[in-house]
Amino acid sequence: MIAFVVRRLFQAVIVMFVISLLSFSIQDNLGDPLRELVGQSVSEEERQALRDELGLNDPFLTQYLRFVGNALEGDLGTSYFFKEPALDVILNKLPATLELVFGATLIIILLSVPLGVYSAINPRSWFSKTVMGMSIVGISIPVFLTAIMAIYLFSVELNWLPSYGRGETVPVFGSWETGFLTKDGLLHLLLPCASLASIMLPLFIRLIRSEMMEVLESEYVKYAWAKGLSPLRIWFLHALKNTMLPVITVGGVQIGTMVAYTILTETVFQWPGMGFLFLEAVNRVDTPLIVAYLIVVGAIFVITNTLVDLIYGLVNPTVKLAGKKS
């Protein structure tokens, strides 16, 4: 088990190393920091002096090590556009994105568990068949298409829900402003969260269904039936517990994917979050911001993936074997 944890943590460190290397080469090759710092009227000698002073003439390795050292201290450079530390700019936008992901996760959990369990228990009912059919279509339609159709329907045609922005937000603490506490904010959350959830929801319904059906066939569930336990107890206490095991793993990995998908959702709904910021940064060639973003998102990916693997390793005893073998 310890070997597994160490191996997994080591791998996480390597991934972060590769991400930092990629980020650094992007920074190194994209744009000239001098152009941003000084104007046209500075002579070539002065430029050279400034380059030396900034350490831009140092060998690659020295520059890279300095970059990593700064990054570890939380200094990811200063955004050209905002003239603020890049990390601060990103962290300011983080709450909006996290709320989006949180809302979507909530929708997924609230819908996928009952629907998945129901269609596993009654696989032949018309309702399950409809759910399954819909889920195939749902899997195949990308999130931005769903989002645009939702806007047409609910914002343009029916005029029920707002189509862009976060609406009214209230500060919770620090720079964290939440839309969950106002009616307007909640209305603004509904469409983006539903769209973001739409891509994952079918996946989870199908996963829960197939896992649950497998568990329902197992010996211990049959034994529970034979004992004469109530169906509700068997389904929700005995069977669901083992069903959720693989679901947790997939769910954790998908959180990383979901952070990636917020880019598309945020673009459609002009949601002032991290993804929207990233696209603006790319269009403005705001290199420090792009690099900082890559590192933050990379860290989110790596941390969730590692945590999920570790938790799964703790919960599921069969993983230990796999860890030992390789």
Partner 1 sequence: MTLSPINRRRLENFRNNKRGYWSLWVFLGLFVFSLGAELIANDRPLLIRYKGELHYPLWQTYPETHFGGDFATEAEYKDPYLQQLIVEEGDGWILWPPVRYSYDTINYQLKVPAPSPPSAENWLGTDDQGRDVLARVIYGFRISILFALVLTGASSVIGVVAGAVQGYYGGKVDLFFQRFIEIWSGLPVLFLLIILASIVEPSFWWLLGIMLLFSWMQLVDVVRAEFLRGRNLEYVRAARALGLSNRLIMFRHILPNAMVATLTFMPFIFNGSVVTLTALDFLGFGLPPGSPSLGELVAQGKANLHAPWLGLSAFIVLSLMLTLLIFIGEAVRDAFDPRKVQP
Cβ at position 248, least distance to partner 1 in Å? 19
Answer left, alpha or beta for residue 90, where phi above 0 means left and psi between -120 and 50 means alpha.
alpha
Cβ at position 135, least distance to partner 1 in Å? 10
Residue 148 or 244: the one with the smaller Cβ distance to partner 1 is: 148
Query: Beta strand pairing status for 176-178 and 170-173?
Result: antiparallel
C-alpha to C-alpha distance for 15 and 64, rounded to whole angstroms: 16
Residue 141 or 245: the one with the smaller Cβ distance to partner 1 is: 141
Cβ at position 126, least distance to partner 1 in Å? 17
Residue 80 or 301: the one with the smaller Cβ distance to partner 1 is: 301
Instruction: Let me know if 208 is exposed, middle or buried by CB neighbors in 10 A (0-12, 13-18, 19+).
Output: buried
Q: Give the torsion sign (CA, 241, 211, 8, 2).
A: positive
DSSP H stretches of helix in the chain: 2-29, 33-37, 44-54, 60-72, 86-121, 126-140, 143-150, 183-217, 219-227, 231-233, 240-269, 274-284, 287-315, 318-325
Cβ at position 28, least distance to partner 1 in Å? 12
Residue 78 or 265: the one with the smaller Cβ distance to partner 1 is: 265
User: Which residues would be at the binding site for partner 1 (CB under 8 A)?
Assistant: 11, 14-15, 18-19, 22, 26, 29-30, 136-137, 139-142, 144-145, 148-149, 151-152, 155-156, 163, 256, 260, 263-264, 267-268, 278-279, 282-283, 285, 290, 293-294, 297-298, 301-302, 305, 326
Cβ at position 7, least distance to partner 1 in Å? 10
Residue 98 or 109: the one with the smaller Cβ distance to partner 1 is: 98
**Beta bridge mates, 178:** 170
Residue 112 or 265: the one with the smaller Cβ distance to partner 1 is: 265
Cβ at position 44, least distance to partner 1 in Å? 27
Residue 75 CB coordination number (10 Å) = 14
